[in-house]
Amino acid sequence: MKGNLSPRVRTLVSAFRYFCILPFAFCICSCVRKGGRVAQGNHEQVLFWGNGADPAGLDPQTVIGEPESHIFNALFEGLVSMDPHDLHPIPGVAESWDVTDGGRTYIFHLRHDAKWSNGDPVTSRDFLDSYRRILQPALGAQYATMFFDDVQVVNAREYYEGKLTDFSQVGFEGPDPYTFIVRLKTPASYFLGMLNHNSWYPIHLPTVLKYGKLDQPNTRWTGVGNLVGNGPFRLKSWTIEKEVVVEKSPTYWGAKDVRLKEIHYLNTEGVETEERSFRAGQLHCTYELPQAKIDVYRREGREFLQIAPYLGVYFYRFNVTNPVMKDRRVRRALAMAIDRDGIVKNVTRGDQQPAHVYTPPNPSGYQCQSPIPTDYEAARKLLAEAGYPNGEGLPPVELLTNTSENHRAVAEAIQQTWRKELSVDARIRNEEWKVFMESMKGLNYCTGRYGWIGDYSDPFTFLSLLVTGNGNNGTGYASPEYDRLIAAAHNAPTDTERLAFLQQAETALLDDAPIAPIYFYTRVYLLQPSVKGWYNNIQDRHMPQFIYLDENAPMEFKNGPLADAGKGR
């Protein structure tokens, strides 16, 4: 339209724009100089945390997303907590513990001063009630299988499957209010690390029962004014699609050492908007960063840019119950026709590593030796064998993503490669986070993006997902051979033999291809220098009781395009 305007009209339009934009630019410039709400938060110990999507809920036993896990760390505390530097287990509700019976029995000694936010004491009864609740099949807790797939709590599977009705026979015991015992079938060196996952957090059963039944999900017990937690913070407010606000809890056993007064977990699904909010001094940290801005921050905002190792894998799920995706050859062909190197180099740009296997490098030293190659010719042959030569006759393949410019960019790269190399008609479907999670859970998709961040530092946290019936499987995949190998790993007498069975299991998994690994994560985000007690770690876990704000830390962009953009010029 601009090309149709006369020179005089263009001059008038330019002048009009100048006088309209000038006050706005002055407003933004002033805001940045004064620091916006970040500067105020630094002074008042109020943290503004860009947290991605609006939480799907605040029940730690039924909600599984990463944005929710950050909030759970504030509202609840498990038997153990984690050191903020390297995540090794430290005392939580349990002030100490003993490990006996060759690593099969854990005896936790609970604090006498641990309290719920309503003042009730936290006792062994709370943990018994909580674990009985999560093992109720009607609750629909996707992480219930963690109690018998990731580790094997005595009789947990039998109780969950209804083969045993007496919960006192499950491997949990509370001989007195301040002693809690867990009995495992087989040793698990990573067990203590698992206890920091929200599925192991206790819930306040009287509050749950006040608003519904033991096994009833999605009741009002997690609402503002209702939720009773035992963490360093308590729920203050929740404005849907905007923010969740938590405030320091005066009943927390370690309250005297908690320095933050409030945390605002903000809905920042729009990654471009989130980055602009950070530059305007409205956020202390972002959930992510637009991929196109990473190189700019490397040059002009290095003091804010965070790129950290992350124990996670970005992959595509295939719904094996879908008529087309039932065919292993189709799944394997699509998995082989992904330009992983091109994606991490040209799309994600955050030092991610191409993933030709499912399990990322981890502290155990395990690494799968049977990678999926990128091989377009072999992929075309597999499609032809499946009855789709040159893609002919193959129905459109829908790629499901949740709302994010970054996820869409990856989907578009895969879409283009499948079209070019396999003549596959790939179509992108986008859904808001809550709807996306329901579509995944209900297998209402063909293929879709997903990511898994390790809940603890062991290959089991990834490989257990694809066991038949696992609540986080999300693909419909069921393989007796895979299940057998995972079970054999659980029962292996040595760690060397355990890892050997896991090696066989992952080889079988990648050959069946219910998933297509794409890249191993790094955590790429922005952080204000004023945020202290926050350390990068492979699980991106930042325990809020250790975080505080330094009001004297610098926060403005010093020079260059980012400084100009931040000041509205």
Res. 481 pLDDT band, cuts 50 70 90? very high
| pLDDT band of 278, cuts 50, 70, 90 | very high
Percent of the chain with pLDDT over 70: 92
Contact 81, 196 (CB under 8 A): yes
Residues 403-407 have a mean pLDDT of: 90
CATH of residue 352:
3.10.105.10
pLDDT of residue 495: 87
Q: Is 108 in contact with 97 (CB distance < 8 Å)?
A: yes
State the amino acid at position 294 in one-letter form.
I
pLDDT in tens, 188-241: 989 999 999 999 999 999 999 999 999 999 999 999 999 999 999 999 999 999
| pTM of the full structure | 0.85
Give me the pLDDT at residue 557, please.
67
The residue written with tokens 């991610």 in the block is 352
Same domain, 185 and 246: no
Total structural domains in the chain? Answer: 3
Instruction: Identify whether residues 82 and 194 lie together within a single domain.
Output: yes
| Amino acid making up residue 254 | G
CA nearest to 294, candidates 307, 282, 303, 311: 307
Answer yes or no: are the C-beta atoms of 460 and 454 closer than 8 Å: no
Q: Which of 452, 440, 449 is nearest to 413 (CA)?
A: 449
CB 199 within 8 A of CB 143: yes
User: Predicted confidence band at 446 (pLDDT cuts at 50, 70, 90)?
Assistant: very high
The whole-number pLDDT of residue 127 equals 98
Residue 102 lies in a domain: yes
Contact assessment for residue 116 and residue 251, using Cβ atoms and an 8 Å cutoff: yes
pLDDT of 5 higher than 50? no
pLDDT at position 191 is 96
> Which pLDDT score is estimated for 45?
98
> Rounded distance, CA 178 to CA 413, Å?
55
Residue type for 273, please?
Answer: T
Type of residue at 317: R
Q: Are residues 549 and 486 in the same domain?
A: no
Asked whether residue 5 is domain-assigned, the answer is no
What pLDDT was estimated at residue 53? Answer: 87
Binned at pLDDT 50, 70 and 90, residue 568 comes out as: very low
What is the per-residue pLDDT across 21-55, written as a single tens digit (0 to 9) for each? 333 333 333 333 355 899 999 999 999 999 998 99
CATH number for the domain spanning 147: value is 3.90.76.10
Residues 360 and 461 in one domain: yes
Question: What integer pLDDT is reported at residue 493 of this predicted model?
Answer: 87
- Could you tell me which residues come within 8 angstroms of residue 450 by beta carbon, excluding any fewer than 6 positions away? 314, 315, 316, 317, 440, 474, 515
From 28, 118, 194, 54, select the one nearest 564 (Cα to Cα): 28
Boundary of a domain, candidates 163, 188, 205: 205
The backbone torsions φ and ψ at residue 169, rounded to the nearest 5 degrees and listed phi first, read -90, -10
Predicted confidence band at 398 (pLDDT cuts at 50, 70, 90)?
very high
Domain boundary (188, 205, 222) is at: 205
Q: What is the 3-state secondary structure (H, E, C) of 60-91?
A: CCCCCCHHHHHHHHHHCCCCEEECCCCCCEEE
280 domain-assigned:
yes
Q: What gap in Å lies between CA 168 and CA 27, rounded to an integer?
A: 64
If asked whether residues 374 and 487 sit together in one domain, one would say yes
Q: Are 330 and 420 in the same domain? A: yes
Q: What domain range is 363 assigned to?
A: 310-522
Centroid of chain to Cα 20: 42
Q: How far apart are CA 151 and CA 490, in angstroms?
A: 8
CATH, residue 541:
3.40.190.10
60-69, 115-124, 385-394: which range is least confident on average? 60-69
Question: Which contiguous run of DSSP H or E holds residue 399?
Answer: strand 397-402
Distance from C-alpha of 453 to C-alpha of 440, rounded to nearest angstrom: 17
Mean pLDDT of the chain: 91
- Kindly state the average pLDDT of the residues 260-270: 94
Phi/psi at 124 (5° precision): -60, -30
Out of 205, 220, 252, pick the residue that ends a domain. Answer: 205
Q: How far apart are CA 374 and CA 263, in angstroms?
A: 44
Task: Decide: 500 and 487 in contact? Cβ < 8 Å.
Answer: no
State the Cα–Cα distance between residues 227 and 116, nearest whole angstrom. Answer: 10
Q: Which of 200, 461, 500 is nearest to 312 (CA)?
A: 461
Tell me if 66 is assigned to some domain: no
- Per-residue pLDDT band at 295 (split at 50, 70, 90): very high
pLDDT at 559: 54
Inform me whether the pLDDT recorded for 13 exceeds 50: no
In this structure, the answer to whether residues 197 and 246 fall within a common structural domain is no
Backbone angles phi, psi at 231, to 5 degrees: -90, -175
The CA–CA distances, whole Å, from 433 to 81, 267, 365, 402, 526 equal 28, 11, 34, 6, 22
pLDDT digit string (tens) for 333-385? 999 999 999 999 999 999 999 999 999 987 778 899 999 999 999 999 999 99
The pLDDT of residue 308 is above 60: yes
Cα 334 from Cα 328, distance rounded (Å): 10
Distance CA 131, CA 153 (A): 11
Asked if the structure places residue 95 within a domain, the reply is yes
Concatenated DSSP letters of 269-322: --HHHHHHHHHTT--SB-S---GGGHHHHHHH-TTTEEEEEEEEEEEEEE-TTS
Tell me: do 366 and 513 sit in the same domain: yes
Res. 124: pLDDT tops 80: yes
**272 plus 405 within the same structural domain:** no
What does the block give as tokens for 562? 């980012």
Residues 159, 81: one domain?
A: yes
Which residues, other chains included, contact 145 with Cβ-Cβ below 8 Å and sequence gap of 6+? 160, 464, 467, 469, 470, 471, 472
pLDDT recorded at residue 561: 54
Is the separation of the CB atoms in 154 and 106 below 8 Å? no
> Is residue 196 domain-shared with residue 322, that is, in the same domain?
no
The encoded tokens of residue 382 equal 């597999």
In a domain, 257, yes or no: yes
Q: Is the pLDDT of residue 92 over 80?
A: yes
Exposure letters 487-513 (e unless 16+ CB within 10 A, then b): ebbbebeeeeebbbbbbbbbbbbbebb
Co-location of 274 and 323 in the same domain: no
Rg (CA), the chain: 25
User: 135: exposed, middle or buried (C-beta count within 10 Å: 0-12, 13-18, 19+)?
Assistant: buried
Whether residue 60 is contained in a domain is answered as no
131 pLDDT more than 60? yes
Mean pLDDT of 503-524: 97
Q: Measured between alpha carbons, how far is 455 from 475 in angstroms, rounded to an integer?
A: 20
Which residues have CB under 8 Å from 373's CB, separation 6+?
A: 336, 356
CB 298 within 8 A of CB 433: no
Does residue 24 fall inside a structural domain?
no
CA distance 93 to 122: 8
pLDDT in tens, 66-79: 899 999 999 999 99
Residue 537's pLDDT band, with cuts at 50, 70 and 90, is very high
Average pLDDT value for residue range 496-502 = 93
